[in-house]
Amino acid sequence: MSAMSGTPGAADPAGFRPRVPAAEWDDWRWHMRRRITTVEKARQWIRLSPDEEKAIAGAAGKYRWSITPYYASLMDPDDPRCPVRQQAVPAPGELAEFPGAEVDPVGDTHYRRTNRVVHKYRDRVVLLVTEACPVYCRHCTRKFHTTDLDGTYFRDDEGGDYTEDLRYIAGHPEIRDVLLTGGDPLSYRDGKLEEIVAALRAIPSVEIVRIGSRFPVLLPQRVTDELCAMLARYHPVWLNTHFNHPKELTGEAAAAVDRLLRHGIPVGNQTVLLRGVNDDIATMRALMTGLLRIRVRPYYLYHCDNVTGVSHFMTSVEKGLEIMEGLQGHITGFGVPQYVLTTRIGKIPLARPYATRTPDGLLLRNHEGRTLVLDPTTLPITEPDAR
């Protein structure tokens, strides 16, 4: 093991990156303290392009910017189109105006019931625990809440405690699933997180607790055995994370996932379809099969919403459908996520049909484009009359 035992194999041919002793590299607090928030610090890890420098200056005072040394170490030092770099380093696109862009196109604010509770689906809620994240992803769907310096969904007049939020959840026994998100809930220290999870567990109608966290991708060292053991005291606890590119599937990330799984916490993944980052079939196949190798179950592929400051990452729906057809039937069935569009009326699954009704019966097509018609005597399309 080198002095940078934790540093994954990102290209550093010139060797200009800092050498970090393993004891520090493996300590998530070291990364939090050393987060990159200035051009000078970024230059220790990557050679910034003039466009990136311009965007960093333009974003200052508008959007938060922060990168963990761990995530920076995954970046190509020379190529601004590096998929990891694009997710974390500001680009001119985020300051451009796009038609139709909105701060909250999916209407989270409309479904806010208390300071922190978003109740959009009958039996489950989102609990917005924080606005802090270790890295501020340039494509964050809650960019207004997490990254916009003028914005937050939290109201100042309701204080920082959870009394009202917990009262709402306890007062609505139809809520059986609480999803902790933010921001990133693992930004809290273990003790604070435990207070929240324990308070939810004390509500008999809450059946499952879910955590949405990108720490396994942005700073996997944060997922310690102690954290996992704490969460395991409140089972059933599930965790969904957010890998977007195979470059993020490092040894450290795999180890973090393994710690969660060994504590009985199932790990799922929600990918966002991002233009220029992962919008091609080969990348998505490598990502989904790579996730299976580290035992993470692909859950959703989100279409990128037209969120202010994020629109430059948007692809067409056609592109998403094409990628789904490149996955379905071509890789392990449970490696195929569901492609969804988040809207004011909920998440809408998007897919081209594999079966269509015709006068001759059901017309089927497979993943290779072969077709088959099953006539109604073989396969009734409507429920037959009582026999």
Ligand X SMILES: *Cc1c(COP(=O)(O)O)cnc(C)c1O
Given the rule CB under 6 A, which residues bind ligand SF4?
Answer: 133, 136-137, 140, 142, 146, 182-184, 214, 242
Q: How far is the CB of 359 from ligand SF4 (least distance, A)?
A: 48
Contact 13, 34 (CB under 8 A): no
Instruction: Return the number of the residue (44 or 109) whose C-beta is nearest ligand X.
Output: 109
Q: How far is the CB of 211 from ligand X (least distance, A)?
A: 12
Q: How far is the CB of 314 from ligand SF4 (least distance, A)?
A: 15
Shortest-Cβ-distance residue relative to ligand X: 120
Q: How far is the CB of 153 from ligand X (least distance, A)?
A: 12
Contact 89, 143 (CB under 8 A): no
From the list ligand SF4, ligand X, none, partner contacted by residue 16 (C-beta under 5 to 8 A by kind)? none
Q: How far is the CB of 243 from ligand SF4 (least distance, A)?
A: 12
Q: How far is the C-alpha of 193 from the C-alpha of 208, rounded, in Å?
A: 16
Instruction: Return the number of the residue (6 or 185) whose C-beta is nearest ligand SF4.
Output: 185
**C-beta neighbour count of 337 within 10 angstroms:** 22
Longest dimension (CA), the chain: 78
Q: How far is the C-alpha of 261 from the C-alpha of 265, rounded, in Å?
A: 5
Instruction: Return the number of the residue (116 or 242) whose C-beta is nearest ligand SF4.
Output: 242
Closest of 322, 373, 330 to residue 351, by C-alpha: 322
Q: How far is the CB of 287 from ligand X (least distance, A)?
A: 19
Q: What angle do CA 157, 160, 163 make, to 5 degrees?
A: 95
From the list ligand X, ligand SF4, none, partner contacted by residue 118 (C-beta under 5 to 8 A by kind)? ligand X
**C-beta neighbour count of 36 within 10 angstroms:** 23
Instruction: Return the number of the residue (177 or 322) whose C-beta is nearest ligand X.
Output: 177
Q: How far is the C-alpha of 176 from the C-alpha of 169, rounded, in Å?
A: 9
Supply 90's token pair.
Answer: 């500001």
Q: What angle do CA 236, 239, 240 make, to 5 degrees?
A: 145
Length reported for the chain: 387
Q: How far is the CB of 90 from ligand SF4 (least distance, A)?
A: 13
Task: Return the H-helix or E-strand segment holding 348.
Answer: strand 346-349
Q: How far is the CB of 65 from ligand SF4 (least distance, A)?
A: 11
Supply 308's token pair.
Answer: 């202010």
From the list ligand X, ligand SF4, none, partner contacted by residue 279 (C-beta under 5 to 8 A by kind)? none
Q: How far is the CB of 129 from ligand SF4 (least distance, A)?
A: 11
Instruction: Return the number of the residue (141 or 331) whose C-beta is nearest ligand SF4.
Output: 141
From the list ligand SF4, ligand X, none, partner contacted by residue 263 (C-beta under 5 to 8 A by kind)? none
The footprint of ligand X (CB under 6 A) covers 118, 120-121, 124, 126, 179, 347
Instruction: Return the number of the residue (335 or 337) whose C-beta is nearest ligand X.
Output: 337
Instruction: Return the number of the residue (31 or 242) whose C-beta is nearest ligand SF4.
Output: 242
Closest of 178, 184, 212, 219 to residue 197, by C-alpha: 178
Q: Sign of the CA dihedral 92, 105, 215, 289?
A: negative
Instruction: Return the number of the residue (90 or 183) whose C-beta is nearest ligand X.
Output: 183
Q: How far is the C-alpha of 289 from the C-alpha of 7, rounded, in Å?
A: 23
From the list ligand SF4, ligand X, none, partner contacted by residue 179 (C-beta under 5 to 8 A by kind)? ligand X
Instruction: Return the number of the residue (10 or 140) whose C-beta is nearest ligand SF4.
Output: 140
Q: Helix, strand, or coil here: 13?
A: coil
From the list ligand X, ligand SF4, none, partner contacted by residue 36 (C-beta under 5 to 8 A by kind)? none
Instruction: Report residue 118 CA to chain centroid gap.
Output: 18
From the list ligand X, ligand SF4, none, partner contacted by residue 335 (C-beta under 5 to 8 A by kind)? none
From the list ligand X, ligand SF4, none, partner contacted by residue 121 (C-beta under 5 to 8 A by kind)? ligand X
Alpha helices in 105-149 (DSSP H): 143-146
From the list ligand SF4, ligand X, none, partner contacted by residue 184 (C-beta under 5 to 8 A by kind)? ligand SF4
Instruction: Report residue 72 CA to chain centroid gap.
Output: 18
Alpha helices in 50-108 (DSSP H): 50-59, 69-73, 83-88
